[in-house]
With several copies, the nearest count.
Chain A
């Protein structure tokens, strides 16, 4: 993936964040979306280790030893931030107060199934907060490269890995396209600039519904 494709994907993901939302950015690619959120957007970033109102990353001498996000990065807070314990933090998630989460994926299926926490025999670190984020955020947007490093499509007919949560994903944003999980199936809704429908279809294992007419680009 080129640097410009990566930036385009991150910018497109940032556009998922709407004014007034409480948002949790998962570890990995989603965290990088932060740099593309407009400075003046009214939004509250949540971190599951007990922060509402996460601000920009802090490095070196500016870091506070007691202030990390759930990914372990030293962060700051914005004015009006608050801290809470881990039970209250997940009450925000499970209680319906988290409007959006952006999550990474190992695999995501056309029916919205998500696998992003375990690769049996290879990667078994525990789920952390992923299960609750995936299952309970009001809106779940997966942000991932369309293919894994070996070129295998991450957008699958069915997930083969153990699920994080079934039927939880609303939208998938990749370096190639935006796809929405609908009652009819997975729908191609946007194309990355310079990418063709045929390229996306070739890169996607899941069945993909291509709407008639022009498809918007990002």
Chain B
């Protein structure tokens, strides 16, 4: 036995995404955001997308490119305060935005990735985050039912990977990436350095290969991945 090779081209991987798809994006701010995959999605122009990401990046990068191009119908996030376009489009009704508490968003994604239907938490009780949610009692304690959050595609940015799709993330660029990698019908990873099988120690892998469908080696890193100068 040998492990399957999942290397693919960016164009073909993104071309499989249809209009109306639900897409999860990794990243918390710049670190871990799959800018090259997003740029290809802008180039191909799929419409009416539901985007699930912790944040909306900042104006002029990442999610903002999709917003500017009018490709986003709906955004599920925990915080979009650094992107004034996202806030403006939300307030103008041009996109629909659903907010979740950050750790609950993470957990809803992991819940889907773990093949569970939902979970019960007391987070948000007594606040407007509880609105419209079902209360469930667990051993005498009341909580809110949070539903598993699935996607059709997950676009992940990894620092290192092998041909089978084992992924390692750098520093705080890990964030939501390992979670969304579990929760989509198809997971596409853009990778800074693709290594041969066996180059990653089995103990150091952050996302096991079975979760990943396609591995795309980035030829060069555009400036947007760098330190943001303010």
What residues of A have a CB within 8 angstroms of the CB of B114 in the complex?
87, 90-91, 94-95
B78 CB–A CB distance under 8 Å: yes
B146 CB–A CB distance under 8 Å: no
- Chain B residue with minimal CB distance to A22? B210
Comparing B12-20, B44-52, B134-142, B198-206, the segment that makes contact with chain A is B198-206
Q: Are B209 and A83 in contact (CB under 8 A)?
A: no
A80 in complex: contacting residue of B178, B179, B209, CB < 8 Å: B209
What residues of B have a CB within 8 angstroms of the CB of A98 in the complex?
210
Number of B residues contacting the other chain (C-beta, 8 Å)? Answer: 79
- Chain A residue with minimal CB distance to B101? A131
Q: Beta-carbon contacts of B69-113 to A below 8 Å, as 1s and 0s?
A: 000000001111110000100110000010101111011011011
A165 CB–B CB distance under 8 Å: yes
B4 in complex: contacting residue of A44, A132, A165, CB < 8 Å: A44
Min distance, Cβ A81 to any Cβ of chain B, angstroms: 5
A82 CB–B CB distance under 8 Å: yes
Min distance, Cβ B124 to any Cβ of chain A, angstroms: 6
Known contacts being A87-B107, A124-B87, is A79 close to B102, with CB within 8 Å? no
Min distance, Cβ B35 to any Cβ of chain A, angstroms: 12
Complex Cα–Cα for A70 and B81 (A): 13
A193 CB–B CB distance under 8 Å: no
Q: Are A129 and B31 in contact (CB under 8 A)?
A: no
Q: Are B171 and A131 in contact (CB under 8 A)?
A: no
A contacts, CB < 8 Å to B: 19-20, 22, 37, 39-53, 55, 63-70, 72, 74, 77-98, 118, 124-132, 135-136, 162-166
13 A-B residue pairs with CB within 8 Å: A47-B172, A50-B28, A65-B30, A66-B172, A79-B197, A85-B174, A90-B114, A94-B116, A124-B91, A126-B79, A128-B101, A135-B123, A136-B123
Q: Are B103 and A86 in contact (CB under 8 A)?
A: yes
Min distance, Cβ A58 to any Cβ of chain B, angstroms: 9
Chain B binding site: helix, strand, loop or mixed by DSSP? loop
Q: Are A163 and B127 in contact (CB under 8 A)?
A: yes
- Contacts between chains A and B (CB distance < 8 A), count: 233
Q: Are A126 and B99 in contact (CB under 8 A)?
A: yes
B contacts, CB < 8 Å to A: 1-5, 28-32, 54, 77-82, 87, 90-91, 97, 99, 101-104, 106-107, 109-110, 112-116, 121-129, 159, 162-164, 166, 169-179, 182-183, 185, 196-198, 200, 202-203, 205-206, 208-211, 225-228
- Chain B residue with minimal CB distance to A44? B3
Complex Cα–Cα for A43 and B5 (A): 10
Q: Are A87 and B110 in contact (CB under 8 A)?
A: yes
Min distance, Cβ B48 to any Cβ of chain A, angstroms: 22
Q: Are A97 and B102 in contact (CB under 8 A)?
A: no
Q: Are B106 and A90 in contact (CB under 8 A)?
A: yes
What residues of A have a CB within 8 angstroms of the CB of B81 in the complex?
125-126, 128
B202 in complex: contacting residue of A53, A70, A163, CB < 8 Å: A53
Min distance, Cβ B183 to any Cβ of chain A, angstroms: 8
- Chain B residue with minimal CB distance to A131? B101
B127 in complex: contacting residue of A77, A82, A93, A166, CB < 8 Å: A166
What residues of A have a CB within 8 angstroms of the CB of B164 in the complex?
44, 53, 80
What residues of A have a CB within 8 angstroms of the CB of B198 in the complex?
79-80
Complex Cα–Cα for A49 and B115 (A): 17
Min distance, Cβ B135 to any Cβ of chain A, angstroms: 16
What residues of B have a CB within 8 angstroms of the CB of A135 in the complex?
122-124
What residues of B have a CB within 8 angstroms of the CB of A83 in the complex?
169, 171-172, 174, 202-203, 205
